[in-house]
Chain A
């Protein structure tokens, strides 16, 4: 993107990639982002203006509704001038329109599953399967909750055998690291088999 009078070559800037962190409300999305982020998770908002549905004003003025969606995100600076952003996606179903923009260009996604309410992660799994976005399932083992095996969760969530399912604790960096590694290795296997290993 060349601009007149610009002294800086954009090619010298870091290039950004993003991974989405999805799951039900309270499953531990922001906790997972915070456990691996180099900055305290930041919160921003997106204002979406949508034309009103079924409105047929005689004066031709469209009615519009404005929705504000909060987004939490973290950052990890990689080698080779690559910066990874992790976006916690809004859990509620009425924010699907936001997921489309978030999913565009995403390297992949982590679906955080809460074993006490496993069904709350199903919409995220469905969304990423439909969109062809590679994802891994992070099973957040809450204190006191029944412990399931990865295979039990895989069967309950009904994901294909190649989708990584990783048990862990969203508060721990090691758990976040493990699921991100599984996801990126999964992405690499999917896209360019020669690279894996």
Chain B
């Protein structure tokens, strides 16, 4: 589904109820624990596209380089919660590898903080 096919116009909102794409599921496959900034990338060298649902295939095509769940959501014009469910399916099937965000809130790792500091200094 292209963004144009799903909306009458920008203000009309989605014509397809968000969770239709996920078969009514509002939570990702158990154990995947995806965050909106979990980074994912295609994990297989060869993909059997014929076994993938169109919405999974659309996501997988955008995972050739590492990308966050939030970026996939924005690029494909699907809500973050829906993106988490669909990406969770791909993680569970081994089609994408996922890396959880740095545990920044309670125990930011020194090397992560230093990388952020250096990166901002280079802006």
- Chain A residues in the interface with B (C-beta under 8 A): 1, 3-11, 13-18, 36, 42-49, 68, 71, 73, 75-85, 87, 101, 103-107, 133, 173, 176-177, 180-181, 184-185, 187-188, 191-192, 195
B123:A76 contact, CB within 8 angstroms: yes
Question: Looking at B66, B71, B73, B108, which has the most chain A CB atoms within 10 Å of its CB?
Answer: B108
Q: Which of chain B's residues have a CB closer than 8 A to the CB of A79? A: 115, 118-119, 122
- Chain B residues in the interface with A (C-beta under 8 A): 13, 18, 26, 32-33, 35-45, 66, 68, 70-71, 73-75, 79-82, 91-94, 97-105, 107-108, 110-123
A85:B120 contact, CB within 8 angstroms: no
A195:B123 contact, CB within 8 angstroms: no
Classify the secondary structure of A's interface with B.
Answer: mixed
Q: Which of chain A's residues have a CB closer than 8 A to the CB of B118? A: 78-80
A36:B115 contact, CB within 8 angstroms: no
B117:A83 contact, CB within 8 angstroms: no
B101:A16 contact, CB within 8 angstroms: yes
Bound form: Cα–Cα A11–B97 in Å: 9
Q: Which of chain A's residues have a CB closer than 8 A to the CB of B71? A: 42, 75
> Closest CB of chain B to A38's CB: distance in Å?
9
B74:A42 contact, CB within 8 angstroms: yes
Question: Looking at B71, B82, B110, B119, which has the most chain A CB atoms within 10 Å of its CB?
Answer: B119
Q: Which of chain A's residues have a CB closer than 8 A to the CB of B102? A: 15-17, 82, 105
For the A-B complex with A7-B44, A16-B68, A16-B101 known, give 10 more contacts whose Cβ atoms are closer than 8 Å: A4-B94, A8-B42, A8-B97, A14-B99, A16-B37, A17-B102, A44-B80, A47-B82, A81-B115, A181-B121
> Closest CB of chain A to B78's CB: distance in Å?
8
A15:B101 contact, CB within 8 angstroms: yes
Q: Which of A5, A10, A43, A188 contacts B99 (CB 8 A)?
A: A10
Q: Which residue of the partner chain A has the closest CB to B99?
A: A13
